[in-house]
Amino acid sequence: MRPEILFPLFRPITALAGVGPRISKLMEKLTGEHIVDILWHLPTSFVDRRFTPTIADAPDHAIVTLEVTVAKHFPSRNRRAPYKVSCFDETGHMDLVFFNARADYLKKQLPEGETRIVSGTVERFQGVLQMTHPDRMGSLDEKEDIQTVDPVYPLTAGVTNKLMGKTVQHALEQTTALPEWLNEAFKKVKNWPDWQDALTSAHHPGCEEDLFADTPARERLAYDELLANQLALALVRRTVRRAAGRSITGNGSLRKTIRDALPFDLTTSQEDSLKEIETDMAEPLRMLRLLQGDVGSGKTVVALLSALTAIEAGLQAVIMAPTEILARQHMETIAPLLTGTPINPILLTGRDKGKKRQAILEQIASGEVQLIIGTHALFQDDVDFANLGLAIIDEQHRFGVHQRLALASKGQHVDVLVMTATPIPRTLMLTAYGDMDVSRLLEKPAGRKPVDTRVMPLAKLEEVAFGLKRMIDKGARIYWVCPLVEESDKIEVAAAQERFEHLQSLYGARVGLVHGKMKGTEKDAVMAAFVAGDIDILVATTVIEVGVNVPEATVMIVEHAERFGLAQLHQLRGRIGRGMDASTCLLLYGTPLSENGQARLKIMRDTEDGFIIAEEDLRLRGAGEVLGTRQSGLPEFKLAQLPAHEDLLAAARDDVKLILEQDPELQTERGQALRTLLYLFEEDASVGYLRSG
Ligand code: ADP
Ligand code: MG
């Protein structure tokens, strides 16, 4: 249960003065629905109103605060003309200018003959100083209030900075001092303020430097967030690991049969990973391991051999993929390999319904089938296993951390192997998986040819489309990827449809189309035709992004490549270069291309190393966007900025290790404060893994 001290911060933002239902809807999108979310909304710049020159000395275009006497009001003569109020001080005259003004309001704010404080941007118009729509106006008593530094916040339509600033102030008023969860010595060395002071000062920048990521206030807040993240992960992970596992070894017979039948030797990384997995499985603890390997690095074989280890031991194994296409493909790759064995894998996806599904479920529950391949729905549904020993979860980056780890706690004693093709930078790895054990497939299977990547403007699209003829004549199979449209799947599908028709007009029936809105069976039919070579060009939205394997495909064209994340482009490009023939990737970009966009496409041209691409992506875009915001499943931080706060992340990880060694159930005074920290960052679920304190 959330501690009482946090109750005020978790009230809806409508509890704040000035935030009604209409405003709260707009603001929620920007911040979140609770008062605490407003606190995390830090300013990105500021307006300094401390400059108080005379009218004569006020520089053009400057933001100034002036002390003036109101001379006379000149209401607008027609709707388009402005309302003017002329003012003066001992050095000269000036005009305050208002459009669409309410006369009665202005008369009250600026009574003739009285001295007023006005603050805003000034400019000279035909020699006369003007201030259009002052940001602030007030009486002499309010001078100190006006002559301040205003934080400037990220905004959204309908929410002004003034409103945002006031709302933040009101939110800050709701805070109280919280018990300290930081190690005092560490806090002292870092020279960090208390939590409440840190918040207050982060919201009141006085100079440029106060906005930097390395100010004590911002560092402290970032550290709090990272500490909560690392602590939560450690708690979940500890619980999973503590759960009794069982020692699974197997006699190696099935594995030997398969290895002998493989048309290739395993790479060193594959061998190493298998050893690590087998060692984990043999331990009486539960395995929780991540297998990280770039596209095409050969994870499937590792998965299969691991599954066989469990099956040899008389247990069941399940391989789960994020999409139907992938589940099917795993089935198609794996089934033929198993022909020399008594193992009959079975496929279960959301598409199996009614009697058929019932029959499959019975086979799983009776233990008749040992290897089950399916979509993630396998875990969500009430699928009963006779004796599940190993769960392999493929391409899990589309899922949230907690979801992922919670999967592990579903089956009893089940070992878990998570596979991801996303080359996650080390930094993010820690935030998404904590200290999960990791095996990496570093080298690609022998015989791969590098992909020739070219970058060109969309203006060349027609030329490219015609040029495909030559490639098709040589027997090439081609992926044509249509632009990503973040805002609308509908537009995305429409664009794909249009390109499909366009290419069909050139190449007739040998063009196919797949997109996310198609029925599963339709998609399969098109994919099958592409695999079989009945179509040469496959027009697709990003549904082909993950895992699809057609070794004969050697050409990939990506429209509006600049709209894709680098990791995504890398995934897409990974679809080609899988066979023995040389491959080409054409990245078409829309103009004008930003400097950042140029830099990113250049990286794609220069390297195929997924880890380099991921690190560069992080450097160029920041953590939030590295994997494409869509479905990325990586935690998004509100206060911590990666990579700027990378060293804090490492410190938080070490901190957590010590904390859990010294106070495993968070019972001490600091432990209690750390519980509050977890609730503060909405890691409520992880507190459930502690003995109640
Ligand atoms: P991914 O890691 O992207 O899932 P896959 O497991 O689909 O990669 O493997 C890609 C291709 O490489 C498959 O056709 C697979 O049979 C082949 N492959 C896997 N391991 C090796 C190896 N050691 N040598 C040669 N080819 C391999
Ligand atoms: Mg794969």
pLDDT single digits (tens) 169-186: 999 999 999 999 999 999
Instruction: Return the residue whose CA atom lies nearest to atom 22 of ligand 1.
Output: 445
Residue 406: is its pLDDT beyond 60?
no
Per-residue H/E/C for 92-114: EEEEEEECCCCHHHHHHHCCCCC
**Cα of 668 vs its chain's centroid, Å:** 35
Q: Which of 126, 129, 128, 127 is nearest to 118 (CA)?
A: 129
Q: Would you place residue 251 in the very low, low, confident or very high pLDDT band (cuts 50, 70, 90)?
A: very high
CA atoms of 622 and 629, how far apart (whole Å): 11
Instruction: Return the residue whose CA atom lies nearest to atom 24 of ligand 1.
Output: 445
Mean pLDDT of the 519-546 span: 84
HSE, side-chain direction, 13 A CA sphere, residue 583: 27
In the block, tokens 């200290």 appear at: 435
CA atoms of 199 and 575, how far apart (whole Å): 47
Supply the pLDDT for residue 379: 67
Q: Which of 306, 307, 310 is nearest to 249 (CA)?
A: 310
How far apart are the CA of 547 and the centre of ligand 2, in A? 5
Residue 594: is its pLDDT beyond 50?
yes
CA atoms of 110 and 137, how far apart (whole Å): 8
**Residue 639 contacts residue 218 (beta carbons within 8 Å):** yes
HSE, side-chain direction, 13 A CA sphere, residue 161: 15
Q: Which domains does the chain have, with CATH numbers?
A: 4-46+154-211 (no CATH), 50-147 (2.40.50.140), 253-441 (3.40.50.300), 451-607 (3.40.50.300)
Supply the pLDDT for residue 79: 82
Q: Would you place residue 557 in the very low, low, confident or very high pLDDT band (cuts 50, 70, 90)?
A: very high
Residue 627: is its pLDDT beyond 60?
no
| CA-270 nearest atom, ligand 1 | 23
Looking at the CA of 334, name the nearest ligand.
Answer: 1
- Long-range contacts (CB closer than 8 Å, 24 or more residues apart) made by 184-192: 186/651, 186/655, 187/220, 190/216, 190/219, 190/220, 191/216, 192/216, 192/217, 192/219, 192/220, 192/223
The region of weakest confidence among 50-64, 184-198, 568-582 is 568-582
Q: How far is CA 44 from CA 30, 74, 196, 207, 546, in A?
A: 14, 38, 19, 12, 36
List all residues whose CB is within 6 A of at least one atom of ligand 1: 264, 266-267, 270, 293, 295-301, 421, 445-446, 547, 549, 578
Handedness of CA 533, 534, 536, 541 (dihedral sign): negative
How far apart are the CA of 330 and the centre of ligand 1, in A? 12
Average pLDDT value for the chain: 89
Amino acid letter, residue 423: P
Looking at the CA of 323, name the nearest ligand.
Answer: 2
Digit-coded pLDDT (tens) for 635-650: 678 899 887 898 999 9
Beta strands at 511-514 and 477-481: parallel, antiparallel or unpaired: unpaired
For a substitution probing ligand 1, which of 264, 544, 573 has the most ligand atoms within 8 Å of its CB? Answer: 264
Residue 563: is its pLDDT beyond 90?
no
Instruction: Return the residue whose CA atom lies nearest to atom 13 of ligand 1.
Output: 298
Residue 549: is its pLDDT beyond 80?
no
CA atoms of 635 and 428, how far apart (whole Å): 9
Number of helices followed by number of strands (H, E) in the chain: 25, 21
pLDDT greater at residue 357 or residue 244: 357
**Residue 67 contacts residue 143 (beta carbons within 8 Å):** yes
Instruction: Return the residue whose CA atom lies nearest to atom 23 of ligand 1.
Output: 266
| CA-303 nearest atom, ligand 1 | 6
Residue 130: in which H helix or E strand, if any? strand 128-132
For a substitution probing ligand 1, which of 265, 295, 297 has the most ligand atoms within 8 Å of its CB? Answer: 297
How far apart are the CA of 106 and the centre of ligand 1, in A? 74
How far apart are the CA of 78 and the centre of ligand 2, in A? 69
Residue 347: is its pLDDT beyond 90?
yes
Q: Strand locations in 591-630, DSSP E?
A: none
Q: Per-residue b/e over 565-595, b at no fewer than 16 CB within 10 Å?
A: bbbbbbbbbbbbbbbebebbbbbbbeeebee
Residue 25: is its pLDDT beyond 70?
yes
> What are the structure tokens assigned to 153, written together?
């916040």
How far apart are the CA of 598 and the centre of ligand 2, in A? 30
**Residue 50 contacts residue 147 (beta carbons within 8 Å):** yes
Alpha helices in 245-370 (DSSP H): 253-261, 268-282, 299-312, 324-337, 354-366
Phi then psi dihedrals of residue 88, to 5 deg: -155, 160
Supply the pLDDT for residue 585: 96
C-alpha triplet 250, 252, 258: angle, nearest 5°: 130
Digit-coded pLDDT (tens) for 414-470: 888 988 877 777 677 777 777 678 898 988 777 777 899 999 999 999 999 999 999
Instruction: Return the residue whose CA atom lies nearest to atom 17 of ligand 1.
Output: 298
Supply the pLDDT for residue 568: 81
Q: Strand locations in 465-603, DSSP E?
A: 477-481, 511-514, 537-540, 553-558, 583-589
| CA-265 nearest atom, ligand 1 | 23
Residue 547: is its pLDDT beyond 60?
no
How far apart are the CA of 422 and the centre of ligand 1, in A? 16
Looking at the CA of 297, name the nearest ligand.
Answer: 1
How far apart are the CA of 305 and the centre of ligand 1, in A? 13
Digit-coded pLDDT (tens) for 279-317: 999 998 888 898 988 877 889 999 999 999 999 999 999
Looking at the CA of 273, name the nearest ligand.
Answer: 1
Instruction: Return the residue whose CA atom lies nearest to atom 4 of ligand 1.
Output: 299
Q: Would you place residue 87 in the very low, low, confident or very high pLDDT band (cuts 50, 70, 90)?
A: very high
The region of weakest confidence among 46-55, 427-436, 518-527 is 427-436
Q: Which residues contact 432 (CB under 8 A, 6 or more apart)?
A: 397, 401, 424, 633, 634, 635
Instruction: Return the residue whose CA atom lies nearest to atom 19 of ligand 1.
Output: 298
How far apart are the CA of 314 and the centre of ligand 1, in A? 27
Mean pLDDT of the 92-121 span: 95
Supply the pLDDT for residue 632: 44
Residue 260: is its pLDDT beyond 90?
yes
Handedness of CA 546, 551, 556, 562 (dihedral sign): positive
Q: Would you place residue 73 in the very low, low, confident or very high pLDDT band (cuts 50, 70, 90)?
A: very high
CA atoms of 339 and 598, how far apart (whole Å): 49
> What are the structure tokens assigned to 366, written together?
């009776």
Q: Would you place residue 545 in the very low, low, confident or very high pLDDT band (cuts 50, 70, 90)?
A: low
Q: How far is CA 532 from CA 343, 420, 535, 552, in A?
A: 27, 28, 8, 10
The region of weakest confidence among 200-209, 517-526, 598-607, 625-634 is 625-634
Q: Which of 115, 74, 69 is nearest to 98 (CA)?
A: 74
Looking at the CA of 319, name the nearest ligand.
Answer: 2
**Cα of 284 vs its chain's centroid, Å:** 35
CA atoms of 38 and 31, how far apart (whole Å): 6
Residue 633: is its pLDDT beyond 50?
no
Q: What burial class does residue 149 get, using C-beta atoms within 10 Å of its C-beta: 0-12 exposed, 13-18 middle, 19+ buried? A: middle
Residue 34: is its pLDDT beyond 80?
yes
> What are the structure tokens assigned to 533, written together?
């070579």
Q: Which residues contact 341 (CB under 8 A, 6 or more apart)?
A: 254, 257, 258
Instruction: Return the residue whose CA atom lies nearest to atom 26 of ligand 1.
Output: 445
Supply the pLDDT for residue 628: 41
| CA-293 nearest atom, ligand 1 | 2
Q: How far is CA 528 from CA 295, 497, 535, in A?
A: 21, 19, 9
CB atoms within 10 A of CB 558: 25
